[in-house]
Structure 1
Amino acid sequence: MASVGSKPKRKKAKHSVSLSDLKTLGQQLLSSRAHVNNLPTLLSYVSPTSPPPYALESLLSLHSFFAPLLPSLPPSSSSSKPSPLNLQDDPDFIYRTWLRSKFDQFVDSLIDLAVSPDSDETLKEIVLDTIMEFVKTGNNGRFHSSIYHRFLHTVVHSAESVDFLTDLLVSNYFKYIDVRYFTYISLEKFARTLEAKVITDVDADSQDDSHSRARSVLSDLRVYCSCRMESFILNIHYIISRIPHVVGLDEKSDCELWSGPGNGSKELSENSKVEDKKLQREKHKNNVFSAASIAKKIKLKFTKAWISFLRLQLPLDVYKEVLVSLHHAVIPNLSNPIMLCDFLTRSYDIGGVVSVMALSSLFVLMTQYGLEYPNFYEKLYALLAPSIFMAKHRAKFFQLLDSCLKSPLLPAYLAAAFAKKLSRLSLSVPPSGALVIIALIHNLLRRHPSINCLVHREDDDETTKCNSKAEGDSETGLDMSSRKQGMDWFNNEESNPIKCNAMRSSLWEIDTLRHHYCPPVSRFVLSLENDLTVRAKTTEITVKDFSSGSYTTIFGDEIRRRVKQVPLAFYKVTPASLFTDSDFPGWTFKYDDGKEKNDGSEIKNQ
């Protein structure tokens, strides 16, 4: 005998009912109220452990049963007020309350079935359509936000992959503006809940128990919770980043709603076609009005959802994805984009690739929304390092760098500092980076004639002192005689562009590129030997044409070039050594049995 309180095994009960019997139970439930006891049996088959044909057959029967009853069912017991005493003993009210509890159980089973990894994809699609149908009709024709919130909560907090279900939701239902509206509301709540959990964990760390065993258990638990929280954040980002943009919605837009305005109480007149048309016209106006009113508020909900999401401790991969799309997918749709200034300035201060990726959004806020960032050019100057020329997003960075240095109000010392820093980098970067540097320096010299003195400079004391006064350095009266002849005043290790002494230097590094080993670099330098003092004679170079270059692009361009004269190495006698005696007069290169000695005796000075 089974013990008291033990539950019967569901698998044995399922084998006792065939698919045809299950279909008969559904037909009986739909035909008469006397067979309402078939409802619990059908509900037991709406489960991830049920075979798909059984789950589908039960789902279809239950959906057909509950759909016409939803307007007459009382509110859920968890959200409703206590019912009056005169209705608590009413048999019909008790029956409808029981049906309401079974409907809630049915919705919970559908949600579990939708997110279960054991469910078939075809079945998931049908389940999602059923859930969204209840969202549409379960609140007297208005959007049932409670069911939708429960569904999204389960999707976001699922430990398994929900990409397929989310893609279905995006493709089939995110075109409706009310679905997007309530999605933003739910995602904001989820983000705030996760943020509160992080704050609670920090407080718990500060009041941690002194026992080592307790600390170990708490540490393992927090690691597990941290992994789960990263999964939740990934799910939130996957949904919020795929909601269509709200740009273009206005009061005149006839936006499509998933649910109606809730006109279930109105009935069409059967005798008058005029009243029928009039009512349809009024209903259309109500739909447009509802869509327009939602369009006014959806931007605010969009802002709250994204701001709440960006307050979370984002994983690094999510952090980078957000920064890549922030300037074109989020900032134009925010009600007040300046709210992102703290997030972007913190990202810009991190340095490295993260700073490069945050530069796009920060530049948009500065140029389009009036953000003041006093240390912007100092941080931008610090980003100029050899590693930036190998970064993934270097093309966008170089284009933004060229735009940031375009202002005619840029001080001469800043323009000179950037030109000199880039010139020094040209000695250590790949050939593709040298091409970008040449284009950037050419544009700087053309836009800022005050730094044309960097092109060629003689060791002149008076000129150096004048430049020192213009730069405001403390070494104004320093005697040049104490410096070695031809010494570069530029301090490449200085992070402050004001103190790097760029105005005292020259762009000698660019002159060395005339003899660069890569032919495109040397040709590009020679092609730019124009009179930069008269800007009308030159035009700016489009940095975009060089910003995404690499060894592959350079090699591809070279093999496509049609060369008329090709240099050839011709020897009448096969060379016996790498260098000839005429290359190094006074030196002899000898080899002993083809093996090079390490004591240096093979190279003798004659």
Structure 2
Amino acid sequence: MADGTTSTMTGVKRKRVSSKNDRHQTKHAKSKSRRKSPSAEDDEPQAAILQLESQILESRRHYNNIATLIQFAGQSETQNEVAVLAAVALCRVFARLLSTGDMVKSKGMPQSEAVIVQWLKERYREFQDLLLQKYLRSGDAATQSVGLTLLMRLVKEESQYQKEYNWKHGPLSRIVKAILFLPGDDPMRDEFADKYFKSFDDVRFYTFQIITNTLEEELERSAETLVSSNSLSLLMSLEEVPASKNDIQNFYTASSKKPVLSLDAYKSQAQTAWLATLRSGVSKEQRKSILGVFSQQIAPWFPQPEMLMDFLTDSYEIGGGTSLLALSGLYYLISERNLDYPAFYEKLYSLLDEGLLHSKYRSRFFRLLDTFMSSTHLPAALVASFIKRLSRLALHAPPAGIVVVIPWIYNMFKSHPACTFMMHRETRDLKAKRQLEEEGMDDPYDTEEADPMLTNAIDSSLWEIEALQTHYHPNVATLAKIISEQFTKRSYNLEDFLDHSYNALLDAELGRELKKEPVVEYEIPKRIFSAEESGLGTLGQLMTQVIQAT
């Protein structure tokens, strides 16, 4: 019995233990099930985010999941992967809601429905704010790229499903403004320019508008400088200008309004954006960058390029390399728009200073100078002043600069024969001729005179070029001798001399074939200052006299 009692008790005890284990397992299973719910923390965030997204698309009852996804998307950078997954999911959700019209408030809509639409619009705005502030301004290139891509996707979706799309208050306006206020070295500006601004005509058209509107706002000086610099970088990234209406056909969005299809309106927006940027002020380096591409990339955007006359004349008055670069823009306006620049040749003459032949813009300047001086109707006195000034500058110029000046002077003499008296003028008065041979003469050329018509250069001579015939560089010396020879050559092609440099001249000299072997000293003297017999040698005695004299 005892055994039976023990057996019975044992059985009861085992049964109770089993019951407790079952309850524990059931409770553990429920806890595990709750942990896998997408509304709580999960070890697999991607699955949770996808489930939240699918629930939103399945039923309106789960719209609150949008707020949960926004929380995921706004997580700290330590959970960046989760945040990006949630942001992408939200973009798909809102794209779907836009396509189905669930975010549009219509007439006769019940109040309950209107409340839902308003709530969705608020969450949509919150999502845009998150992308603009947290993603575009993150400083991380990958995160910024994701933010820009998602925002531009929303731009496309909005324009596709809204009948009257408002570009001014849409995401694009906020995107461009955010980019304009980014630091100057932020790569996001270049990414936007490469992917969208340079590629799509409608994005470009409305970006012009946004740049203008932003710069016309009341901004602090530091903010205005930053926005102006960023807008200048965007505008200068455009290398091609549409020449006709047929060139405007690549659109990012489905609803492109009529102004985009008009070439005049298109260029007018670009002109307004450029003028707003220039009025905001540019630095010295930015001014040089603008002038460097003015004729090719900037002026063709302007229906009225003469509006840039003040900018060009101000640049022309600065002097130095800036003035040299401004010449190209002025020539464009003079030749293409028939604009007149008072005292143009007087200002051009003033650019011939000591730094010209050392400048990196030397080749560009001589191309333009050759064009400006090509007219055969220019006064001989004016041409003579340019010839004389460049001859004088050549005395202190590097060989690469001299080899440009001499052919240019030769071509000027061929085009303006009245100036050839500067090379050879015979004095017929025997007394005056004898006096010149004995005493010489003062150069009548006035280097201080600013007006090229009053320098008396036509009464002078090119003794500077004759002096260069004994230049240390053999190429320069040989080239300078053309002034003393007969002018049988028609003219030189200036392009053959513009790109010469020290390296080019040195390579040409080292590659020359020697007709005669140079004499080399093969015996090294044992003494320099003393004689072999005794005492000082000739050089030693001369050195002694120098020491005693000092």
Q: CA deviation at 1:46?
A: 2.6
Q: Name the amino acid aligned to 1:347.
A: S
Corresponding residue number in structure 1 for 2:177: 153
Corresponding residue number in structure 2 for 1:37: 64
* Structure 2 residue 498 is the aligned partner of structure 1 residue 547: yes
**Aligned 1:38-437 pairs, distance under 5 A:** 38-47=65-74, 49-50=76-77, 51-70=79-98, 72=101, 90-121=111-142, 123-139=143-159, 140-141=161-162, 145=167, 146-159=170-183, 161-172=185-196, 174-193=198-217, 197=219, 225-226=221-222, 228-250=223-245, 252-253=246-247, 255-261=249-255, 290=258, 293-437=261-405
Distance 1:163 1:409, change over 3 A: farther
Corresponding residue number in structure 2 for 1:477: none
Return the alpha-carbon distance in structure 1 between the equivalents of residues 248 and 400 of structure 2.
Answer: 51
Return the alpha-carbon distance in structure 2 between the equivalents of residues 379 and 517 of structure 1.
Answer: 33
> Which structure's relative contact order is higher, taking Cα pairs within 8 Å and 6+ residues apart?
1
Aligned residues: 493
Return the alpha-carbon distance in structure 2 between the equivalents of residues 596 and 74 of structure 1.
Answer: 104
SS, match of residue 216 in structure 2: helix
Q: CA deviation at 1:126?
A: 3.4
Return the alpha-carbon distance in structure 2 between the equivalents of residues 382 and 388 of structure 1.
Answer: 11
User: Which blocks of at least 5 consecutive residues in structure 2 are unaligned?
Assistant: 1-38, 530-536
Return the alpha-carbon distance in structure 1 between the equivalents of residues 463 and 81 of structure 2.
Answer: 78
User: Which blocks of at least 5 consecutive residues in structure 1 are unaligned?
Assistant: 1-13, 77-82, 199-224, 263-288, 465-479, 579-586, 602-606
Return the alpha-carbon distance in structure 2 between the equivalents of residues 418 and 113 of structure 1.
Answer: 61
Post-superposition CA distance 1:121-149 (Å, at most 9, x none): 2x433332221121122143576522111
Distance 1:518 1:48, change over 3 A: farther
Q: CA deviation at 1:90?
A: 0.9
Distance 1:440 1:557, change over 3 A: same
Structure having the larger proportion of residues in helix: 2
- Of stretches 316-325 and 569-578 in structure 1, the one that deviates more from structure 2 is 569-578
* Structure 2 residue 453 is the aligned partner of structure 1 residue 498: yes
- TM-score normalized by structure 1? 0.74
Distance 1:15 1:174, change over 3 A: farther
Distance 1:131 1:508, change over 3 A: same
Return the alpha-carbon distance in structure 2 between the equivalents of residues 549 and 576 of structure 1.
Answer: 44
When the two chains are superposed, the root-mean-square deviation of aligned CA atoms in Å is 3.3
Post-superposition CA distance 1:457-514 (Å, at most 9, x none): 345789x9xxxxxxxxxxxxxxx99x97421101122222122111110111111111
CA contact (8 A) 1:395 1:547 kept: yes
Q: Name the amino acid aligned to 2:251.
A: L
Distance 1:461 1:28, change over 3 A: farther
CA contact (8 A) 1:134 1:144 kept: no
SS, match of residue 306 in structure 1: helix
Q: CA deviation at 1:346?
A: 0.6
Q: CA deviation at 1:181?
A: 0.7
Q: Name the amino acid aligned to 2:235.
A: I
Corresponding residue number in structure 1 for 2:549: 600
SS, match of residue 138 in structure 1: helix
Distance 1:527 1:450, change over 3 A: closer
Q: Name the amino acid aligned to 2:509.
A: E
Q: Name the amino acid aligned to 1:519.
A: P
Q: CA deviation at 1:291?
A: 8.6
Q: Name the amino acid aligned to 2:90.
A: L
Q: CA deviation at 1:109?
A: 1.3
Q: CA deviation at 1:519?
A: 0.3
CA contact (8 A) 1:153 1:190 kept: yes
Return the alpha-carbon distance in structure 1 between the equivalents of residues 459 and 327 of structure 2.
Answer: 30
Q: CA deviation at 1:59?
A: 1.4
- TM-score normalized by structure 2? 0.81
Distance 1:119 1:423, change over 3 A: closer
CA contact (8 A) 1:256 1:291 kept: no
Corresponding residue number in structure 2 for 1:217: none
SS, match of residue 453 in structure 2: coil
Q: Which has the larger radius of gyration?
A: 2
Q: CA deviation at 1:99?
A: 0.7
Q: CA deviation at 1:24?
A: 2.9
Distance 1:508 1:21, change over 3 A: same
1:28 to 32, 41, 55: 55
CA contact (8 A) 2:70 2:127 kept: yes
Return the alpha-carbon distance in structure 2 between the equivalents of residues 32 and 573 of structure 1.
Answer: 103
- Give the fraction of aligned pairs with identical amino acids, expressed as a percent: 27
CA contact (8 A) 1:29 1:39 kept: yes
Q: Name the amino acid aligned to 1:525.
A: A
Q: Name the amino acid aligned to 2:254.
A: G
Post-superposition CA distance 1:290-341 (Å, at most 9, x none): 5972434211111111122122211222111111111111112311111111
Return the alpha-carbon distance in structure 2 between the equivalents of residues 572 and 259 of structure 1.
Answer: 85
* Structure 2 residue 402 is the aligned partner of structure 1 residue 453: no
Q: Name the amino acid aligned to 1:568.
A: V
Distance 1:458 1:555, change over 3 A: same
Distance 1:340 1:452, change over 3 A: same
Distance 1:173 1:332, change over 3 A: closer
SS, match of residue 287 in structure 2: helix
Distance 1:529 1:113, change over 3 A: farther
